[in-house]
Structure 1
Amino acid sequence: MELESLATLNAERAARRAAVLVTPLDGGPQRLVKAADVAGDPLGAGIAERLRLGKSGLLETDAGRYFLTVQVPPVRLVVTGAVHISQALAPMARLIDLDVTIIDPRTAFASPERFPDVRLLAAWPDAVLRDMPIDRYTAFAALTHDPKIDDPALAAALRSEAFYVGALGSRKTHAKRLERLGEQGFSDMDLARIKAPIGLPIGAVSPAEIALAILGEVVAALRLTSPRGEAS
């Protein structure tokens, strides 16, 4: 790899942006394609598919064979609410390589004893998220049922490029939530990003089952959508 490409790759990694190193197997120079440049690349469709999968691999085209080395940031899952669902969700999320952060100002809930080996922030979400960029490799889930905690976090998520935004609660609860967020200036298109009731419709009843439904919905949003936000 040329030093210029290596420097660019390192810069993209530091900024939590995806990039792909294209190596022609039939001869020719390597080149680096940033995620922002995929649409205009001659191999755009193949590169986009590899970015969607988050896996390196071979691409065969009429013009030749290429090996695509994919670099994607670690996927984050940011959760408001140190609740029973979060206790089940955190270890499940680690099994599928999600980097979990749980935010809850209620110290009786947000304790290391209840959440071992999890990044746990006992603080108000609006204060935390002010300094925590939410990018297109971040999923967000609001699980407290408390508008004072969930609403500011949802507002931050809706202003971001988060690939998934979900919120716990019944349809009646969510309707009131939409009214509150609408009063803050969010459009119907903005609010439609919120998956609520959260999780895939699998008939979940226990905290562990709800956590499973949430993770299923997160993975679907991650893997069934291209980096440009288009359905695959």
Structure 2
Amino acid sequence: MQADLLAALNEERRARRAVIRIVDLDSGAERLVREADDLGRDPLEVDLAARFRSGKSGTVETEDGARLFLNVHVPPPRIVAIGAVHITQALAPMAAIAGFDLVVVDPRTAFATPERFPDARLLAEWPDTVMEELAFDAYTALVAVTHDPKIDDTPLIAALNKGCFYVGALGSRKTHAKRVERLTEAGLDEETIARIKAPIGLDIGAASPAEIAVSILAQIIESLRRKPEAPA
């Protein structure tokens, strides 16, 4: 691999940005395509978009017969859960099985204990004090489930501003209407606020904390794997 391409690839990976290395299997020519690039200008637009969504490498053949290997480098997806509640307890093992790293944040030390979350990274801190450590990005899902605006609102705003691929918040429609008012007062526009999944989770009739956790994880996976297509 060319030294300059390797350096560029490593830089993208360190920054948790998705990138695909394209190698011509016949000529050995290679190039990098970043997910943030304008894929509409690339002859491999459809294949690249599909690979970025799936995260899987593979070989494609162009119309002129060239055989290309698309080596996909996608950051491991993460879930940041604000609230060490029963829903999060159920979500933790499910997220691990599905391949997500999980961080649980809650300043309430009676809830945020290693005994309740033995296998998750646990931060018993106010979210605004660990925001830099959380490092929200396009491969982070934010799940806000404390029902307490003093805890939930700051990470919700940060996740929306940082472009997290999923932002969900627990609460009824009435609760969310009040949340919308607060976030509007905080300076967020209507389109940005509309990205919040609220009520949180897919509508599967979930009742128990475990069922709600299933609906949340399913919605996170849907958001990750079914990213909106770029406009034509």
Which TM-score bucket, shorter chain as reference? Answer: over 0.9
1:33 pairs with 2:33: yes
Counterpart for residue 22 of structure 2? 22
Kept in 2, the 8 Å contact 1:142–1:167? The answer is yes
- Correspondence for 2:44: 43
Asked if 1:150 is matched to 2:155, the reply is no
The residue aligned with 1:87 is 89
Distance of 1:151 and 1:4 partners within structure 2: 42
What corresponds to 2:110 in structure 1? Answer: 108
TM-score normalized by the length of structure 2:
0.94
- Residue pair 1:90, 1:118 contacting (<8 A) in 2 also: yes
What is the distance in 2 between the residues matched to 1:156 and 1:54? 25
Report the residue type matching 2:5 in the other structure: S
CA RMSD of the aligned region, Å?
Answer: 1.6
2 CA distance for matches of 1:182 and 1:44?
36
Match of 1:99 in 2: 101
Distance in 2 separating the partners of 1:117 and 1:48: 34
Deviation at 1:48, TM superposition (A): 1.5
2:210 paired residue among 208, 211, 228:
208
**Amino acid aligned to 2:103:** T
Please, which runs of 5 or more residues in structure 1 have no aligned partner? none
1:180 counterpart = 2:182: yes
- Give the SS at the match of 2:178: helix
Show the 5 A alignment for 1:112-123. Answer: 112-123=114-125
For 1:168, the equivalent position in structure 2 comes to 170
* Aligned-partner residue type, residue 99 of structure 1: D
Asked if residue 53 in structure 1 is aligned to residue 54 in structure 2, the reply is yes
- 8 Å CA contact 1:38–1:47 kept in 2: the answer is no
Which 10-residue stretch deviates more, 108-117 or 35-44? 35-44
* Runs of 4+ off more than 4 Å: none
147-156 vs 35-44, which moves further:
35-44
| Count of residues in Structure 1 that have an aligned counterpart in Structure 2 | 230
Whether contact under 8 Å (1:199, 1:215) holds in the other structure is: yes
Question: Counterpart amino acid of 1:50?
Answer: R
Q: Structure 2 counterpart of 1:80, which letter? A: I
The letter of the residue matching 1:124 is W
* Residue aligned with 2:103, SS: strand
User: What is the Cα deviation at residue 25 of structure 1?
Assistant: 2.4
* Counterpart in the other structure of 1:4: 4
Q: Is the 8 A contact 1:167 1:197 kept in 2?
A: yes
* Identical-pair percentage: 58
Which amino acid counterpart does residue 128 of structure 2 have in structure 1? D
Query: TM-score w.r.t. structure 1 length?
Result: 0.94
Q: CA deviation at 1:28?
A: 4.0
After superposition, what is the alpha-carbon deviation per residue over 1:172-231, rounded to whole angstroms, capped at 9, x for unaligned? Answer: 1111111111111111111101000000000001111100100111111110005xx748
> For 1:40-76, what per-residue CA distance to the aligned partner results, in whole angstroms no more than 9, with x for missing partners?
3222221111011011012122032211010011101
SS in 2 for 1:69: strand
Q: What is the deviation of 1:79? A: 0.8
Contact residue 74 and residue 137 of structure 1 kept, 8 A: yes
Residue identity in the other structure for 1:154: L
